[in-house]
A = this chain, B = another copy of it.
Amino acid sequence: MKDFNHSVTHYFKQEAEQSIHYLSIDCVVFGFHEGRIRVLLLRWKGTSEWSLPGGFIRKAESVDAAAVRILRERTGLQQIFLQQFHIFGDAVRYNQEDTWQRIGLPVDLSKWSERTISLGYYALVEYAEVTPRPDLLTDACDWWSLEDLPNLLFDHNRIIAVALENLRRQLPYQPVSHLLPETFTMPELQRLYETILGRPLDARNFYKKVQASGILQRTDERRKGTPYKSPYLYRFDPGVYPEVVREGSLSFP
Interface residues of A (CB under 8 A from B): 20-23, 57, 59-65, 84, 86-87, 89-91, 114-115, 117, 119, 169-170, 173, 248
State how many angstroms separate the Cβ of A238 from the closest Cβ of chain B. Answer: 24
A119, B86: Cα distance in complex, Å: 10
If the complex has contacts A23-B22, A60-B115, are A86 and B84 also in contact, measured as CB distance less than 8 A? Answer: yes
If the complex has contacts A87-B84, A173-B169, are A63 and B20 also in contact, measured as CB distance less than 8 A? Answer: no
Contact B114 A23 (CB under 8 A): no
Contact A89 B117 (CB under 8 A): no
The chain B residue with its CB closest to the CB of A84 is B87
Contact A20 B117 (CB under 8 A): yes
* A-B contact list, 25 entries, CB within 8 Å: A20-B22, A20-B23, A20-B117, A21-B22, A23-B117, A57-B89, A59-B114, A59-B115, A60-B115, A62-B90, A62-B91, A63-B87, A63-B89, A63-B90, A63-B117, A64-B89, A64-B90, A65-B91, A84-B86, A84-B87, A87-B87, A87-B119, A89-B119, A169-B170, A169-B173
The chain B residue with its CB closest to the CB of A23 is B23
Contact B57 A117 (CB under 8 A): yes
**Chain B residues, CB < 8 A from A84:** 86-87
State how many angstroms separate the Cβ of A107 from the closest Cβ of chain B. Answer: 21
**Chain B residues, CB < 8 A from A57:** 89, 117
A248, B117: Cα distance in complex, Å: 28
A170, B165: Cα distance in complex, Å: 13
The chain B residue with its CB closest to the CB of A251 is B253
Chain B CB within 10 A, most for which of A23, A60, A87, A115: A87
**Chain B residues, CB < 8 A from A62:** 89-91
State how many angstroms separate the Cβ of A123 from the closest Cβ of chain B. Answer: 16
Residue from B60, B89, B114, B117 within 8 A of A91 (CB atoms)? B60
A65, B23: Cα distance in complex, Å: 17
A64, B63: Cα distance in complex, Å: 20
State how many angstroms separate the Cβ of A57 from the closest Cβ of chain B. Answer: 7
A173, B166: Cα distance in complex, Å: 12
The chain B residue with its CB closest to the CB of A64 is B89
**Chain B residues, CB < 8 A from A89:** 57, 62-64, 119
**Chain B residues, CB < 8 A from A23:** 20, 22-23, 117
Known: A21-B21, A84-B86, A84-B87. 17 other contacts (CB 8 A): A20-B22, A20-B117, A22-B59, A57-B89, A59-B114, A59-B115, A60-B114, A60-B115, A61-B91, A62-B90, A62-B91, A63-B90, A63-B117, A65-B91, A87-B119, A89-B119, A169-B170
